């Protein structure tokens, strides 16, 4: 059976393989190549079906005849691949925009959380192992909640892990330890203790500040991610063996003979082909000298050349490090590689691999912005040593490489060639081999470019190359397949390298935010219950306190009033009584008449005043006693009402400090002047008393008698007063009395009485008696007159009332202290409870706001997470 031949333009085919080997491969029978076919069938699916032959490489017919023999199939394939590429681009773009939106929403969520954190500190779960006996306080409840939250998070994490298998850089965070509760929101909180219990020495405010810093850093990170995914530029690095057709391949991709091709190795400088829009639409070459850092806007960093100058520029490796080739790709978006509507691809044509350039090329190919490395190998030569080294190194780095087996047109026994090369690829990079349909391509770049072979420029419409717009339907399905694979790969790679990390990060941060939100919501709900319980206890207690306060204030006021009134009445009675009976009360108190009459008067005054002062003292003592009783009673009332046994226990009541100010002294205000008239106060009663007819209530004689019985040298030393010598003894007084009585008993006596002498005598006696009476009554007269005088003065001063008021007022004043203390303490308690109530109500309100916030917040996070999880970044759109 002969191997079908494929038409090829240009050079003569090199027949390296025998037909037999090729038959074995194509028929897919059990043979040593079966594994290769199996591998292909896994990935190529229906494309291996002979009923729909589309590729020369994979079906019998394609090798046997010209691909032009199957125009419909090829056209269908082209159309499908074009559609697939476009759908992939669309899908990529949609995913990118959708991720952009989720990133914006997540940034907003973080900002909202930060604002909430400023208003009310966010609770952050801290690890700890609490025993059952510790589950009664807030901390342990939080610990319990934390545990359940962590379990939730763990569930999310596991889910996330399934979705982020490819995210190597961030998957190391996977799994929740006791110290790291979150994926990206974990705080670096120091742990103390070796039992596994975490004891944070940070207070809530410090944690909240740390958390805010974390939030801000995540916001920054999200901005960076957004910038990264919005960056639409991508670089495809074309390298390979010397003279393998790299420049021709690049030109074929560009559909333009741009880069110089030669049978001799010619490219020794890197050429980066960029869409001219990035150079204000100008087609030119910017040759960047070695050592210069290229900046398009700074002409000192490069030299400008025409595109036609590339011919010699690519060989000037001594001078230039890289050539920036700006070219106008006029093809429609769906065909243009440089600007395809989604990602602007830049092609880098590298010098052929040899030992000199190997290092440079290797380093270049690993640059971060390189999305794809295309390795061009000549079908005529297979892999050289440098090629094998390069591919092996890339495989170790898990770098995907597109292998373009070029100049396939030159091969006569294509199947054998293909088999050989695939076998080599398998040993060099099994991963690439696994997806060989997409990663290994057998093409002819010169045919795709439309020329007849090397050096054929006939397809061009200008000096620099071929404009595809003039030849939109070129006829190389293999190259088309390569191109669409390349586009898809770039998109897929970008989806994986840029969109997938963004997606994974979003899932992680949204999980964290949801977890943190649920944790806070639960915590607030539990705290709310506790606050409600506290309020349920506090409010009735507070109301009772208010009414108790009223009652106690009334009771205490009534108690003070009663004591006040009692003291006032007592004082009035006692002092008033003394004042009103001043004269009567002197009997036992005065030892007088040992001086002259003025001294006597003075003494009487003093005695009287002392009597009054004594009554005041008694009144004040009574008041003190009542005050002590009142204070003690109030202490008890206070202790009971305030439920405080220590109430006023620290205070000592010093009753001896009461009535210290002698405001009751009346001496200054009393008129103590004495005149002779003060000693004369005749009265019939006094007269009778004087002569023993009536017992005197207060007898000057008895006084005289007492004084006479114990005479002193000062006796009757009445200065400026009448001498009472003739009445100086009681004996004389008795004689006189008996004489008078004898006269009345005898007629002779009567005669005598009626005689002139007798009358005169009688008159003289009467006068004498009168004088005697007046003289002996002088002390009584003074006491009577002065007591009245004093009473009048005291009355004028409202002395009794004033003193009673003063004393009772002082009691009132003293009693005010414990009363005020009760009131003050009660007020304090009420204020304290009022404040507590207000604080709790405020907290409750804040909690309601927070609960509402977290409820909405966690739903928003959940929705966003679901949305982002639904983004399919990995599946490539297939059109059947
Ligand atoms: N038959 C055939 N010849 C090709 C093909 N592609 C390139 N050539 C020729 O191979 C020779 C080398 O092509 P280049 O594109 O210059 O190769 P290169 O890899 O860029 O060369 P250096 O960069 O100098 O290593 C030229 O004469 C091309 O015409 C192809 O697909 N088929």
Identity of the highest mean pLDDT range in 58-67, 147-156, 178-187, 237-246: 237-246
Would the CB of 419 count as within 6 Å of ligand 1?
no
Would the CB of 238 count as within 6 Å of ligand 1?
no
Would the CB of 453 count as within 6 Å of ligand 1?
yes
What pLDDT was estimated at residue 566?
95
The C-alpha angle with vertex 252 and arms to 246 and 257, in degrees rounded to 5, equals 90
Would the CB of 246 count as within 6 Å of ligand 1?
yes
The closest residue, in CA terms, to atom 27 on ligand 1 is 263
The region of weakest confidence among 298-302, 589-593, 630-634 is 589-593
The closest residue, in CA terms, to atom 1 on ligand 1 is 407
836 vs 71, more confident? 836
Would the CB of 846 count as within 6 Å of ligand 1?
no
Would the CB of 451 count as within 6 Å of ligand 1?
no
* Contact predicate 233/347, CB 8 Å: no
Q: Tell me, in angstroms, the distance from the centre of ligand 1 to residue 446's CA.
A: 8
The closest residue, in CA terms, to atom 32 on ligand 1 is 407
Burial class (CB in 10 A: 0-12, 13-18, 19+), 833: middle
Question: Which ligand 1 atom lies nearest to the CA of residue 260?
Answer: 16
pLDDT one-digit tens code per residue, 695-728: 544 433 333 333 333 333 333 333 333 333 333 3
Q: What rounded mean pLDDT belongs to the chain?
A: 72
Which of 12, 237, 244, 245 should be mutated for ligand 1, with most atoms under 8 A from CB?
245
Q: Tell me, in angstroms, the distance from the centre of ligand 1 to residue 405's CA.
A: 12
Residue 324 CA to residue 187 CA, distance in Å, equals 46
Q: Tell me, in angstroms, the distance from the centre of ligand 1 to residue 265's CA.
A: 9
pLDDT one-digit tens code per residue, 634-674: 999 889 888 888 888 888 888 888 888 766 566 567 777 87
Phi–psi pair at 350, nearest 5 degrees = -95, 160
Residue 168 CA to residue 185 CA, distance in Å, equals 19
pTM value is 0.55
Question: Which ligand 1 atom lies nearest to the CA of residue 454?
Answer: 29
CA dihedral 731, 735, 741, 743 (to 10 degrees): 180
Dihedral angle sign, alpha carbons of residues 239, 245, 251, 254: negative
Would the CB of 244 count as within 6 Å of ligand 1?
yes
Tell me which residue of 286, 330, 279, 282 sits closest to 304, measured CA to CA: 286
* Long-range Cβ contacts of 173-178 (<8 Å, 24+ apart): 173/508, 176/150, 178/127, 178/128, 178/129
Query: What's the alpha-carbon Rg for the chain, to the nearest Å?
Result: 63
* Contact predicate 589/607, CB 8 Å: yes
Would the CB of 409 count as within 6 Å of ligand 1?
yes
The closest residue, in CA terms, to atom 13 on ligand 1 is 245
Q: Tokens at residue 488, please? A: 């898809």
Number of other CB atoms surrounding residue 505 within 10 Å: 24
* Contact predicate 735/729, CB 8 Å: no
The closest residue, in CA terms, to atom 16 on ligand 1 is 261
Q: What SS3 class is residue 469?
A: helix
Helix residue ranges per DSSP H, 231-340: 246-254, 310-313
Q: Tell me, in angstroms, the distance from the centre of ligand 1 to residue 491's CA.
A: 28
pLDDT one-digit tens code per residue, 66-118: 333 334 455 565 666 667 667 777 777 888 899 999 999 999 999 999 999 98
Q: What is the ipTM of this complex?
A: 0.98
Would the CB of 242 count as within 6 Å of ligand 1?
yes
* Contact predicate 406/444, CB 8 Å: yes
Helix residue ranges per DSSP H, 269-344: 310-313
DSSP state of 670: S
Q: Give the contacts of 544 (CB within 8 A, at least 6 positions apart).
A: none
What is the pLDDT confidence band of residue 482, given thresholds at 50, 70 and 90? confident
Residue 343: CA atoms inside 13 Å, Cβ hemisphere, count? 34
The region of weakest confidence among 147-161, 204-218, 848-862 is 147-161
Residue 61 CA to residue 70 CA, distance in Å, equals 9
Residue 609 CA to residue 575 CA, distance in Å, equals 11
Q: Give the contacts of 550 (CB within 8 A, at least 6 positions apart).
A: none
Q: How far apart are the first and last CA of the chain?
A: 32
Would the CB of 410 count as within 6 Å of ligand 1?
yes
Tell me which residue of 143, 129, 215, 127 sits closest to 177, measured CA to CA: 127
Q: Tell me, in angstroms, the distance from the centre of ligand 1 to residue 13's CA.
A: 15
């Amino acid at each position: 059976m002969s191997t079908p031949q494929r038409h090829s333009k240009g050079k003569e085919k090199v027949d390296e393989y025998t037909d037999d080997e090729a038959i074995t491969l194509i028929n897919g029978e059990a043979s040593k190549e079966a594994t290769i076919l199996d591998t292909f069938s896994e990935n190529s699916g229906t494309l291996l079906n002979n009923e729909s032959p589309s590729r020369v490489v994979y079906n019998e017919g394609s090798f046997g005849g010209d691909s032009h023999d199957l125009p419909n199939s090829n056209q269908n394939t082209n159309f499908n691949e074009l559609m697939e590429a476009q759908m992939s681009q669309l899908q990529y773009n949609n995913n990118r925009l959708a991720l952009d939106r989720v990133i914006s929403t997540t940034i907003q969520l973080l900002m909202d959380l930060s604002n909430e954190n400023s208003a009310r500190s966010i609770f952050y779960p801290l690890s700890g192992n609490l025993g059952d006996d510790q589950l009664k306080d807030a901390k342990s409840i939080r610990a319990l909640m934390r545990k359940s939250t962590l379990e939730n998070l763990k569930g999310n994490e596991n889910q996330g892990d399934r979705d982020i298998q490819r995210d190597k850089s961030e998957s190391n965070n996977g799994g929740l330890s006791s110290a790291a509760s979150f994926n990206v929101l974990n705080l670096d909180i120091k742990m103390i203790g070796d039992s596994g219990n975490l004891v944070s020495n940070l207070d809530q405010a410090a944690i909240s500040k740390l958390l805010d810093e974390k939030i801000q850093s995540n916001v920054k990170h999200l901005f960076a991610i957004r910038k990264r995914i919005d960056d639409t530029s991508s670089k495809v690095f074309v390298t390979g063996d010397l003279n393998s057709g790299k420049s021709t391949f690049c030109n074929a991709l560009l559909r333009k003979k741009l880069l110089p091709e030669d049978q001799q190795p010619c490219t020794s400088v890197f050429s980066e082909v960029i869409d001219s829009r990035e150079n204000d639409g100008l087609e030119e070459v910017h040759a960047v000298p070695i050592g210069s850092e290229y900046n398009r806007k700074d002409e000192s960093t490069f030299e400008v050349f025409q595109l036609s100058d590339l011919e010699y520029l690519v060989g000037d490796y001594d001078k230039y490090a890289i050539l920036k080739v700006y070219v106008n790709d006029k093809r429609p978006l769906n065909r243009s590689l440089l600007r395809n509507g989604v990602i602007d691809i830049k092609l880098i044509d590298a010098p052929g691999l040899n030992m000199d350039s190997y290092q440079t090329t290797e380093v270049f190919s690993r640059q971060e912005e390189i999305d794809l490395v295309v390795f061009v190998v000549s079908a005529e030569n297979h892999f050289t040593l440098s090629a094998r080294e390069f591919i092996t190194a890339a495989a170790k780095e898990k770098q995907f490489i597109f292998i373009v087996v070029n100049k396939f047109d030159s091969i006569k026994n294509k199947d054998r060639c293909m088999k050989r090369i695939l076998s080599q690829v398998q040993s060099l990079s099994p991963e690439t081999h696994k997806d060989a349909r997409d990663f290994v391509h057998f093409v002819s770049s010169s045919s795709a470019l439309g020329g007849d072979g090397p050096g054929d420029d006939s397809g061009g419409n200008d000096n620099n190359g071929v404009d595809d717009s003039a030849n939109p339907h070129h006829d190389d399905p293999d190259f088309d397949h390569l191109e669409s694979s390349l586009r898809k790969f770039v998109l897929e790679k970008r989806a994986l390298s840029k969109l997938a990390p963004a997606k994974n990060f979003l899932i992680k941060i949204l999980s964290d935010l949801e977890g943190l939100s649920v944790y806070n919501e639960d915590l607030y709900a539990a705290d709310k219950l506790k606050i409600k319980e506290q309020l349920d206890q506090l409010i009735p207690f507070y109301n009772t306190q208010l009414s108790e306060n009223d009652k106690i204030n009334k009771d205490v006021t009534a108690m003070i009033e009663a004591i006040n009134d009692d003291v006032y009445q007592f004082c009035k009675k006692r002092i008033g009584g003394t004042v009103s009976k001043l004269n009567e009360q002197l009997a036992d108190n005065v030892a007088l008449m040992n001086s002259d009459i003025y001294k006597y008067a003075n003494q009487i005054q003093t005695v009287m005043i002392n009597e009054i002062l004594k009554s005041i003292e008694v009144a004040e003592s009574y008041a003190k006693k009542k005050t002590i009783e009142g204070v003690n009673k109030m202490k008890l009332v206070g202790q009971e009402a305030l439920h405080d046994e220590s109430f006023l226990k620290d205070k000592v009541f010093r009753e001896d400090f009461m009535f210290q100010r002698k405001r009751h002294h009346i001496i200054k205000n009393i008129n103590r002047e004495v005149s002779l008239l003060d000693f004369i106060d005749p009265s019939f009663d006094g007269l009778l008393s004087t002569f023993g007819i009536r017992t005197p209530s207060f007898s000057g004689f008895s006084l005289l008698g007492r004084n006479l019985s114990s005479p002193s040298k000062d006796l009757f030393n009445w200065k400026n007063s009448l001498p009472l010598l003739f009445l100086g003894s009681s004996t004389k007084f008795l004689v006189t009395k008996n004489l008078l009585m004898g006269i009345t008993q005898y007629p002779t006596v009567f005669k005598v009485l009626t005689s002139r002498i007798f009358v005169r005598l009688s008159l003289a006696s009467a006068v004498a008696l009168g004088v005697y009476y007046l003289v002996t009554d002088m002390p009584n007269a003074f006491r009577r007159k002065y007591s009245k005088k004093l009473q009048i003065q005291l009355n004028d001063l409202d002395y009794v009332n004033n003193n009673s008021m003063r004393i009772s007022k002082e009691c009132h004043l003293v009693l005010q202290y414990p009363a005020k203390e009760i009131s003050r303490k009660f007020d304090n308690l009420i204020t304290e409870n009022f404040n507590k109530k207000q604080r709790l109500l405020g907290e409750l309100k804040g909690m309601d706001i927070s609960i509402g916030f977290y409820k909405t917040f966690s739903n928003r996070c959940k929705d966003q997470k679901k949305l982002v999880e639904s983004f399919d970044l990995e599946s490539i759109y297939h059109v059947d």
